[in-house]
């Protein structure tokens, strides 16, 4: 019994002494993997060196690992091939929607075993000041957030730590339980056989994004919502003014607006998918979009149906129709404005958007607005003309006589305001008891 207790104690001491390395392998990373080790002293003190390993195919342009849940949060370690089978470690910080810049204040260096060997690029890294994020929070914990990215293509073969980089093809976020990565005080745990590796891939809270698909979803979202709000909603509304008929509402206006609503919903779906990829579901652009599309999907059809039923019974206008008309204009205007806001919003995430896109959008939106107002003004003028022509000649003569009498009275009052047959109310005094 004493012998068994002694063996258990020795095994526990050996396990604590050897330490562990935690591993994460993205399922869509095409062979990349990331490992972390926190020495005992660093874990106890909350500061000190930590060890990172980035490994992937040697024909990648670059691969990267970062602390925190987004690029702006912490330190970035970007690795790419250099001449002679070597690799370059570029420590960088993100300062906005542009390429991260080299930051020499990140005290990181490559260790033995780094380089391109047998088609595999390996970077064993020691960082002496990477236990905290830029806001001062510690990375240590059971839910530590990390980000990764990589780009396919031929190797860069550059020793320049400020090398211009191509945008990533894949990127993602994952979590690590760094309490499982504690142990040992080796100067290079990745070259030692005394460390056990814990694979945390299946347990990690992770998200992986294909940037090519993300770009396509952005375009689909922008095109579908822009066409719906800028062209279809206003255009199909004008059909009531261009072709007024008893069948226009039920056979033309309503079916076409339903198509526009479905297109807007499809654009909303693509937009929500983009927001999920970017973790921006609560951004100002999505929230405005929820309001505009929610209005045309939930409110406008109800008001339109209620007005149609009311008109069939009474042949008169109602508050339903008034609300349907003006809320439709409001929702469409909000959607159009939010489209312009979307270009600014997207530029903050992707500065490569060509300037011609927002300029064209603004020009088309302005043109549609002018056409919309012009058609409504033309229709109202034409209705007045047709209504006047439809009156009997006797009525027209009476109206002309009344207008002539009114003009004569106004003229006489202006010449002699004290005439008894013309009462000037402005000269009357209030009644007094």
CATH code (residue 309): 1.20.120.1770
pLDDT digits 0-9 by tens, 1-56: 444 333 333 333 444 456 799 999 998 867 899 999 999 999 999 999 999 999 99
Pull the structure tokens for residue 269: 């779906």
Reduced to 3 states (helix: H, G, I; strand: E, B; else coil), residue 199 is strand
Answer with the one of 178, 203, 228 that is the final residue of a domain. 203
| Same domain as 185, residue 40 | yes
- Report the C-alpha gap between 350 and 332 in whole angstroms: 26
Does residue 399 fall inside a structural domain?
A: no
Question: Would you place residue 405 in the very low, low, confident or very high pLDDT band (cuts 50, 70, 90)?
Answer: low
| pLDDT exceeds 90 at position 132 | yes
- Residue 390, CB half-sphere, CA atoms under 13 Å: how many? 6
- Residue 363, CB half-sphere, CA atoms under 13 Å: how many? 6
Q: How many structural domains does the chain have?
A: 2
pLDDT recorded at residue 398? 67
Question: Would you place residue 395 in the very low, low, confident or very high pLDDT band (cuts 50, 70, 90)?
Answer: low
| Same domain as 366, residue 301 | yes
Helices (H), 227-278: 233-242, 254-278
pLDDT recorded at residue 18? 64
pLDDT recorded at residue 424? 45
Compute CA 261 distance to the chain's CA centroid, rounded to the nearest angstrom: 21
pLDDT recorded at residue 15? 41
Does residue 433 fall inside a structural domain?
A: no
pLDDT recorded at residue 297? 95
Write out the residue range of the structural domain in which residue 318 sits: 210-388
Mean pLDDT of the chain: 86
| Same domain as 375, residue 271 | yes
pTM: 0.78
Does residue 280 fall inside a structural domain?
A: yes
Beta strands in 19-103 (DSSP E): 20-24, 33-37, 50-57, 62-67, 76-81, 87-93, 101-102
Minimum mean pLDDT range among 31-35, 144-148, 408-412: 408-412
- Report the C-alpha gap between 336 and 326 in whole angstroms: 15
| pLDDT exceeds 90 at position 390 | no
**Over residues 395-408, mean pLDDT:** 59
Entry field: residues in the chain: 433
- Report the C-alpha gap between 277 and 113 in whole angstroms: 35
């Amino acid at each position: 019994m004493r012998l068994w207790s002694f063996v258990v104690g020795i095994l526990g001491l050996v396990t604590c002494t050897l330490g562990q390395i935690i591993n994460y392998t993205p399922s869509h990373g095409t062979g990349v993997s990331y490992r972390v080790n926190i020495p005992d002293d660093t874990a106890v003190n909350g500061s000190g060196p930590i060890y990172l390993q980035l490994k992937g195919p040697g024909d990648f342009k670059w691969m990267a690992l970062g602390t925190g849940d987004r690029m702006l949060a912490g330190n970035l370690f970007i690795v790419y091939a250099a001449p002679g089978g070597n690799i370059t470690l570029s420590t960088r910080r993100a300062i906005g929607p542009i390429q991260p810049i080299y930051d020499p204040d990140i005290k990181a260096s490559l260790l033995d075993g780094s380089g391109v060997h047998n088609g595999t690029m390996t970077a064993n890294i020691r960082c002496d000041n990477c236990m905290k994020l830029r806001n001062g929070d510690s990375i240590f914990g059971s839910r530590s957030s990390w980000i990764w990215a990589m780009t396919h293509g031929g190797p860069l073969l550059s020793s320049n730590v400020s090398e211009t980089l191509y945008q990533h093809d894949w990127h993602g976020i994952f979590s690590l339980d760094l309490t499982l990565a504690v142990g040992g005080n080796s100067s290079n745990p990745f070259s030692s056989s005394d460390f056990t590796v814990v694979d945390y891939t299946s347990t990690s809270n992770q998200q992986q994004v294909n940037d090519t698909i993300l770009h396509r979803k952005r375009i689909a979202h922008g095109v579908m919502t822009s066409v719906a709000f800028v062209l279809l909603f206003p255009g199909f509304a004008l059909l009531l003014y261009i072709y007024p008929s008893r069948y226009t509402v039920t056979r033309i206006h309503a079916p076409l607006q339903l198509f526009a609503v479905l297109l807007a919903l499809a654009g909303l779906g693509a937009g929500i998918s983009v927001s999920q990829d970017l973790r921006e579901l609560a951004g100002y652009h999505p929230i405005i979009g929820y309001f505009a599309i929610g209005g045309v999907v939930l409110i406008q059809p109800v008001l339109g149906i209620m007005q149609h039923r009311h008109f069939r019974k009474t042949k008169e206008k109602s508050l339903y129709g008034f609300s349907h008309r003006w809320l439709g204009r409001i929702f469409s205007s909000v959607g159009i404005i939010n489209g312009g806001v979307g270009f600014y919003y997207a530029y903050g995430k992707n500065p490569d958007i060509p300037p011609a896109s927002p300029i064209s959008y603004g020009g088309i939106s302005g043109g549609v607005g002018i056409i919309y107002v012009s058609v409504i003004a033309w229709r109202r003028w034409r209705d007045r003309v047709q209504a006047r022509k439809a009156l009997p000649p006797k009525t027209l003569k009476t109206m002309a006589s009344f207008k002539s009498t009114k003009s004569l009275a106004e003229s006489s009052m202006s010449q002699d305001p004290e005439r008894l047959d013309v009462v000037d109310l402005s000269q009357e005094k209030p009644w007094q008891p």
